[in-house]
């Protein structure tokens, strides 16, 4: 499109000429140019220069007559109307200095009277006179005031008048020409076309796009009729002219359609245009001109599309139209047209090459003449025509060309251009556009063609790079025929670039492609159609195979066209190829390695099957194979018996194991299966890494080993309908075989004993003895790992505890590891690893020789009764040679129960025969918690019960009630009944122990903390363990938190006083003491029931009043009538105020009656009291 002249590319712009007053020209021009639509100005300083304007051609009559016009469109006509043929001529005059203008053809005239200020008087008469002289309508006689205040207005006036007049002018011109067409006064098609063209251009001047389009189309159709009719020019040039004009018309039509938004119409139009003209190839010698022309059509349309930002229709109505017209979405994409432009330009290049080769073979003198420049060919006045320019003396003369001369000229012109670069640029453009659209296949095709073009001009590295990208896609999608062609180019590129390795790789790839068809005869132009390797066929594959192997054996020298060096494979230039699972060379050599077992003992042997497959068309002889493992000492070599070992063993491979195979020849698509025994002493995994195949003196392939179980199908070949066999004979192995084998550890020859007896008890430091005994291995660098895991899986740390590392937060905890004698292990050396955490420990084990043993004790403490799994593992080296040996591991585990040692319970009670009135008990407040109530400042009794829940006897060491740490000060006084324990009592399993405490609450509170019972105890074990450590001797502590109690004021205390025993028939007195602790008068009712065992005196029923803060004593005299344990008469005391009744308990109301005075010494009173207390407790 850039080649088109400006006047063709852009829509026409009105031209106005202004004459006179040069000082105003720039102001007016600038203003008019910025008008919408813009107006160009042709400014002339005065009327003497008016001849610049185009004049009427004098031969006009001649032209319009029946005489043949010389051509269709004149080349400079458009330019003339753009630059030299104004629609309006404006004369800028001072009123007094006017003279008649020599008027242009039909141009409109405007007279502009220039005034310096508005105030300049212009007399009416003079204006009229002027108008008459200038023959202009008063409308077109304008005032122009150059004064700054009026300038704007004047310019506006000028602009609108010019626009109006220009419009009229172009309309009239159009009409005039149109009339000529309608009159049909000519049958010259050329003229009709020219008229139509002019009408369209005039319409364009007026921005009447519809009319413009109509007449351009008209011109185009008329032009179409000319083909084969016109005989004005010699045939070749005739066609050239028609095509050139058609191109211009088509361009105009397409532009108008596209800019008018009629995308589909534009597409359809363009398609018709191409269909119509594509067949008009023309004379064979200048076919290249035709293809160049076609290419330009596509290029121009592509550029138009690109600049008008067309989108694919997406409304249904548009879609249906699109379908109807047979359009597809790709035609809305400039890439499509760029690609075709490139394609036809390539066609042009090919045709031109043919023509050039012919013309070079037979040079003609005429060509010399044209090339020597004595005659030169120039474009003639008509579009699409050329003429010869002669220099005759001092004048130039033009003369029409003959077709033969024209051909020579065209060829000479054609030679001057390097089309390839243009072709590459076009393909690149569409390549990039397709890539942006993610149309990778179309992009690949463009890349492919681009690469071929690079190849043609000898830019092999660019070509190779592009071809490689294209080959990847074809390889991925299995388009073998396309891949063959690309690989053929790549092979040739590598040869030209002197890259032997690439050449070998591409050759092998080609040879291994799945192509089995046998080729017919090669057509003569096969290179053009199939690339450098010709059509794909089995025989081609075979010959490529043979060629590359000859090269690799050094028997053949490849000539590089670069001439720098010939390609040869020899000792100092060997070829190594690497093949991994994603390499395209996998079809050349595939190595599958499968161990027959998955796990094997160290030193035991397992079979290994190595299977090799090649798709090369000819058998391949392998000199030897080397199998490499991750454990290099397992590597081995396979040779065939024909080969001597001498050339195999070289340098550092001296000590490798060598196996032989009956033959080492790979046949097409046939597995070469080799099975050998493998043995490894090293535990861990043994993995086959790669297989190195030596295929000749200078050629090796390193092929990554693949497991049959995870092997992908062969690329390309997987789509082929050919026989597929399994890499191993055993189908199970083919499905599950792995190239890795697990070598187990040695069996440990060590005893690891965890000696635990019975369950652990909560609170104690539980010792677990661990013994390591060597039974065959030495233990070097031994490490003992200890792990504690909750057997129920709940975790050993209580989540509730806030402090993460407090000791109590661990339910079970590894405290320490003790030495064999129960003492703390001393740090004996720098390598003595010791690390103890709450549930994990790591201890080093000293060197043990065969037969020796070592032991330690794990000290574990339970805070909660929880079962725990104890894992102990020992890792060691069987010998002190650290580098060589591998660690052996022994694992032991044991579940240990944690049990509560002592179950502690408690209860509160009142002192014997003394009962304070606790209102809480009498009248419980509904809803309040049933905590125990104690009387304020009254003694209460606490009984603590401890039962041995274990299976072993426990020795109690001490028992006490400790105040809780958080209590400030003592809220109650606790006294241990009977002092400290007389001796440390032994509790057999299930036995209970009781301890009595007296409590006197000293604060009056709702809730009072009493404290925690601390029981210190230890296991009472046999004599042998008497020696055990001080930790055990210190004993364990079990705690029991006593609940908070409610302390109450007591209004009344009733106590019963009577002797513990009496003698039959002897009278005694019994008192009921009622203490009033309040400041109120208390009314107390009491009653006394009769009893058969006693005779009693005193009132039976009465109401008494007890004074505040005093006590009232009721006394009864009793005489026992029966011996033994007897119930005293029932006394019932009722407080009226609190409506609470009281009866002493049965125990309290029981006395023992001796039949006669017993003959033993009575103990002192204190003992008696205590005995009564104990008695009380046992009864309750």
Query: Nearest approach, Cβ of 599 to another protein (angstroms)?
Result: 18
Nearest partner of 1079 among 1048, 1050, 1108, 1052, judged by Cα: 1108
534 or 875: CB nearest another protein? 534
Query: Nearest approach, Cβ of 280 to another protein (angstroms)?
Result: 15
522 or 895: CB nearest another protein? 522
Contacts of 967 (CB under 8 A, 6+ apart): 1009, 1011
430 within 8 A of 335, measured Cβ to Cβ: yes
908 within 8 A of 1177, measured Cβ to Cβ: no
Contacts of 799 (CB under 8 A, 6+ apart): none
130 within 8 A of 112, measured Cβ to Cβ: no
Query: Nearest approach, Cβ of 414 to another protein (angstroms)?
Result: 22
267 or 870: CB nearest another protein? 267
Radius of gyration of the chain (CA): 61
Task: Give whole-number Cα distances, 672 to 588, 668, 677, 814, in Å.
Answer: 13, 10, 17, 61
Query: Nearest approach, Cβ of 447 to another protein (angstroms)?
Result: 12
What is the DSSP secondary-structure string of 500-530?
Answer: HHHHHHHHHHHHTSS--PPP-PPPTTHHHHH
Query: Nearest approach, Cβ of 533 to another protein (angstroms)?
Result: 12
Query: Nearest approach, Cβ of 222 to another protein (angstroms)?
Result: 25
531 or 1120: CB nearest another protein? 531
Query: Nearest approach, Cβ of 1016 to another protein (angstroms)?
Result: 56
What SS3 class is residue 225? helix
Query: Nearest approach, Cβ of 330 to another protein (angstroms)?
Result: 4
231 or 723: CB nearest another protein? 723
Query: Nearest approach, Cβ of 718 to another protein (angstroms)?
Result: 8
Query: Nearest approach, Cβ of 947 to another protein (angstroms)?
Result: 45
731 or 804: CB nearest another protein? 731
Query: Nearest approach, Cβ of 300 to another protein (angstroms)?
Result: 17
Query: Nearest approach, Cβ of 584 to another protein (angstroms)?
Result: 15
**Pair of tokens at residue 153:** 């207005």
Binding site residues, another protein, CB under 8 A: 312, 314, 319, 322-323, 326, 328-331, 336, 340, 343, 434, 437, 439-442, 444-445, 448, 474, 477-482, 485, 523, 529-530, 535, 718-721, 731-732, 735
252 or 586: CB nearest another protein? 586
- How far, in Å, CA of 103 to CA of 109, rounded? 8
Query: Nearest approach, Cβ of 298 to another protein (angstroms)?
Result: 10
The CA angle 302-306-309, to the nearest 5 degrees, is 140
- How far, in Å, CA of 291 to CA of 300, rounded? 14
Segment holding 1082, helix H or strand E:
strand 1082-1088
Burial of 41 (0-12, 13-18, 19+ CB in 10 A): buried
717 or 862: CB nearest another protein? 717
- How far, in Å, CA of 669 to CA of 721, rounded? 12
- How far, in Å, CA of 981 to CA of 1044, rounded? 26
205 or 474: CB nearest another protein? 474
326 or 830: CB nearest another protein? 326
47 or 330: CB nearest another protein? 330
What SS3 class is residue 897? coil
469 or 478: CB nearest another protein? 478
- How far, in Å, CA of 498 to CA of 621, rounded? 27
- How far, in Å, CA of 1117 to CA of 1122, rounded? 16
What SS3 class is residue 590? strand
206 within 8 A of 258, measured Cβ to Cβ: no
Burial of 51 (0-12, 13-18, 19+ CB in 10 A): exposed
- How far, in Å, CA of 124 to CA of 143, rounded? 13
Return the HEC string of 855-889. EEEEEEEECCCCCEEEEEEEEEECCCCCCCCCCEE
415 or 529: CB nearest another protein? 529
1010 within 8 A of 974, measured Cβ to Cβ: yes
Query: Nearest approach, Cβ of 343 to another protein (angstroms)?
Result: 7
Nearest partner of 536 among 520, 553, 525, judged by Cα: 520
330 or 676: CB nearest another protein? 330
- How far, in Å, CA of 328 to CA of 323, rounded? 7
Nearest partner of 545 among 587, 579, 503, 511, judged by Cα: 511
What SS3 class is residue 219? helix
Query: Nearest approach, Cβ of 277 to another protein (angstroms)?
Result: 13
- How far, in Å, CA of 446 to CA of 423, rounded? 11
Contacts of 1070 (CB under 8 A, 6+ apart): 1056, 1057, 1058, 1115, 1116, 1117, 1118, 1128
183 or 438: CB nearest another protein? 438
37 or 732: CB nearest another protein? 732
64 within 8 A of 192, measured Cβ to Cβ: no
282 or 697: CB nearest another protein? 282
**Pair of tokens at residue 1115:** 């006394």
Query: Nearest approach, Cβ of 482 to another protein (angstroms)?
Result: 5
291 or 503: CB nearest another protein? 291
Query: Nearest approach, Cβ of 377 to another protein (angstroms)?
Result: 32
Quickly tell me which residue has 């046939």 as its tokens. Answer: 670
Query: Nearest approach, Cβ of 523 to another protein (angstroms)?
Result: 6
């Amino acid at each position: 499109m850039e080649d088109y002249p400006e006047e063709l590319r852009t829509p026409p712009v009105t031209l106005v000429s202004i004459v006179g007053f040069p000082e105003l020209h720039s102001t007016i021009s600038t203003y008019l140019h910025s008008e919408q639509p813009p107006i160009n100005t042709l400014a002339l300083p005065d009327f003497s220069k008016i001849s610049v304007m185009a004049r009427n051609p004098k031969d006009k009559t001649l032209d319009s007559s029946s005489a043949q016009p010389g051509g269709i469109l004149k080349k400079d006509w458009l330019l003339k109307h753009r630059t030299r043929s104004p629609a309006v001529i404006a004369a800028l005059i001072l009123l007094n200095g006017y003279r008649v203008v020599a008027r242009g053809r039909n141009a409109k005239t405007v007279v502009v009277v220039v005034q310096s200020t508005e105030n300049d008087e212009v007399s009416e008469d003079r204006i009229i006179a002027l108008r008459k002289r200038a023959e202009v309508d008063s409308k077109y006689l304008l005032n122009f005031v150059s004064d700054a205040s009026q300038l704007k207005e004047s310019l506006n006036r000028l602009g609108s008048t010019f626009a109006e007049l220009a419009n009229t002018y172009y309309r009239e011109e159009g009409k005039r020409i149109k009339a000529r067409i309608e009159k049909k006064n000519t049958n010259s098609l050329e003229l009709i076309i020219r008229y139509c063209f002019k009408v369209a251009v005039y319409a364009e001047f007026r921005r009447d796009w519809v009319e413009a389009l109509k007449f351009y189309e008209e011109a185009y159709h008329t032009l179409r009729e000319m083909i084969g009719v016109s005989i004005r020019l010699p045939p070749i040039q005739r066609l050239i002219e028609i095509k050139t004009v058609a191109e211009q018309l088509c361009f105009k039509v397409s532009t108008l359609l596209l800019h008018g938004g009629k995308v589909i119409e534009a597409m359809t139009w363009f398609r018709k245009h191409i269909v119509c003209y594509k067949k008009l190839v023309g004379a064979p010698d200048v076919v290249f001109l035709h293809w160049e022309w076609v290419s330009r059509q596509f290029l121009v349309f592509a550029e138009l599309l690109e600049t008008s930002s067309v989108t694919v229709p997406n409304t249904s109505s548009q879609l249906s139209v699109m379908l109807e017209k047979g359009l597809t979405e790709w035609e809305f994409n400039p890439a499509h047209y760029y690609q075709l432009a490139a394609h036809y330009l390539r066609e042009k290049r090919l045709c031109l090459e043919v023509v050039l080769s012919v013309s070079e073979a037979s040079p003609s003198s005429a060509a010399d003449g044209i090339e020597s420049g004595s005659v030169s060919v120039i474009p003639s006045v008509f579009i699409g025509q050329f003429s010869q320019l002669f220099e005759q003396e001092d004048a130039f003369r033009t003369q029409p060309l003959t077709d033969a001369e024209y051909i020579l000229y065209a060829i000479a012109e054609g030679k001057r251009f390097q089309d390839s670069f243009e072709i590459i640029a076009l393909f690149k453009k569409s390549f990039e556009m397709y890539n942006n659209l993610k149309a990778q296949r179309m992009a690949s095709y463009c890349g492919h063609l681009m690469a071929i073009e690079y190849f043609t001009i000898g830019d092999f590295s660019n070509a190779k790079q592009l071809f490689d990208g294209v080959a990847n896609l074809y390889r991925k999608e299995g388009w073998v025929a396309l891949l063959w062609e690309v690989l053929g180019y790549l092979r040739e590129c590598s040869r030209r670039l002197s890259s032997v390795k690439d050449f070998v790789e591409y050759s092998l790839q080609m040879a291994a492609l799945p192509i089995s068809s046998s080729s017919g005869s090669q057509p003569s132009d096969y290179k053009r159609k199939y690339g450098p390797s010709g059509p794909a066929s089995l025989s081609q594959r075979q010959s490529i195979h043979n060629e590359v192997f000859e090269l690799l054996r050094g028997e053949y020298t490849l000539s590089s066209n670069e001439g720098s060096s010939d390609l040869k494979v020899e000792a100092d230039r060997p070829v190594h190829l690497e093949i991994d699972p994603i390499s395209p060379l996998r079809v050349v050599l595939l190595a599958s390695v499968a161990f027959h077992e998955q796990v094997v003992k160290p030193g035991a042997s397992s079979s290994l099957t190595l299977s090799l497959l090649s798709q090369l068309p000819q058998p391949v002889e392998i000199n030897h194979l080397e199998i490499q493992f991750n454990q290099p000492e397992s590597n081995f070599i396979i040779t065939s018996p024909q080969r001597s070992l001498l050339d195999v063993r070289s340098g550092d491979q001296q000590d490798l194991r060598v196996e032989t195979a009956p033959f080492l020849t790979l046949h097409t698509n046939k597995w070469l299966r080799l099975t050998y025994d493998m043995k490894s002493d090293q535990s861990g995994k043994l993995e086959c890494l790669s297989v190195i195949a030596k295929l000749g003196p200078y050629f090796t392939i390193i092929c990554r080993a693949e497991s049959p179980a995870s092997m992908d199908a062969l690329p390309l070949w997987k789509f082929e309908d050919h026989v597929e066999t399994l890499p191993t004979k055993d189908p199970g192995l083919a499905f599950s075989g792995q190239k890795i084998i697990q070598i187990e550890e040695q069996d440990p020859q060590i005893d690891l004993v965890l000696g635990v007896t019975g369950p652990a008890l909560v609170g104690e430091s539980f010792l677990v003895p661990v013994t390591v005994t060597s039974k065959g291995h030495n233990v070097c660098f031994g490490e003992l790992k200890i792990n504690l895991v909750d057997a129920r899986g709940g975790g050993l740390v209580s989540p509730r505890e806030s402090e993460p590392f407090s000791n109590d937060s661990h339910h079970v905890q590894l405290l320490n590891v003790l030495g064999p004698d129960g003492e703390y292990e001393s740090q004996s050396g720098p390598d003595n690893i010791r690390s103890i955490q709450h549930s994990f420990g790591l201890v080093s084990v000293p060197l043990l020789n065969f037969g020796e043993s070592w032991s330690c004790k794990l000290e574990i403490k339970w805070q909660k009764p929880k079962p725990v799994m104890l894992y102990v593992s020992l890792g060691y080296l069987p010998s002190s040679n650290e580098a060589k040996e591998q660690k052996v591991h022994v694992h032991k585990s044991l579940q240990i129960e944690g049990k509560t040692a002592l179950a502690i319970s408690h209860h509160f009670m009142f002192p014997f025969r003394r009962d304070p009135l606790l209102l809480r008990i009498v009248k419980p407040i509904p809803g309040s918690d049933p905590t125990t109530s104690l009387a304020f400042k009254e003694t209460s009794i606490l009984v603590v019960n401890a039962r041995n829940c274990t299976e072993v006897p426990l020795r109690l060491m001490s028992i006490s009630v400790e105040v809780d740490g958080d209590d400030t000060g003592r809220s109650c006084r606790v006294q241990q009944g009977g002092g400290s324990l007389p001796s440390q009592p032994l509790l057999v399993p299930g036995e209970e122990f009781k301890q009595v405490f007296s409590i006197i609450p000293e604060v009056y509170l709702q809730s009072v903390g009493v404290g925690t019972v601390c029981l210190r105890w230890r296991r009472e074990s046999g004599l042998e363990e008497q020696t055990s450590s001080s930790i055990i001797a210190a004993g364990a502590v079990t705690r029991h938190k006593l609940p908070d109690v409610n302390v109450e004021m007591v209004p009344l205390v009733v106590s019963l006083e009577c002797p513990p025993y009496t003698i039959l028939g002897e009278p005694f007195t019994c008192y009921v003491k009622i203490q009033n602790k309040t400041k109120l008068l208390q009314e107390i009712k009491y009653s006394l029931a009769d009893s058969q065992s006693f005779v009693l005196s005193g009132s039976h029923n009465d109401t008494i009043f007890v004074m505040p803060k005093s006590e009232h004593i009721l006394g009864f005299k009793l005489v026992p009538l029966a011996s033994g344990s007897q119930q005293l008469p029932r006394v019932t005391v009722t407080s009226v105020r609190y409506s609470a009744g009281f009866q002493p308990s049965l125990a309290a109301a029981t006395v023992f009656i001796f039949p006669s005075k017993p003959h033993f010494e009575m103990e002192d009173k204190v003992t008696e009291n205590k005995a009564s207390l104990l008695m009380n407790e046992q009864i309750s």
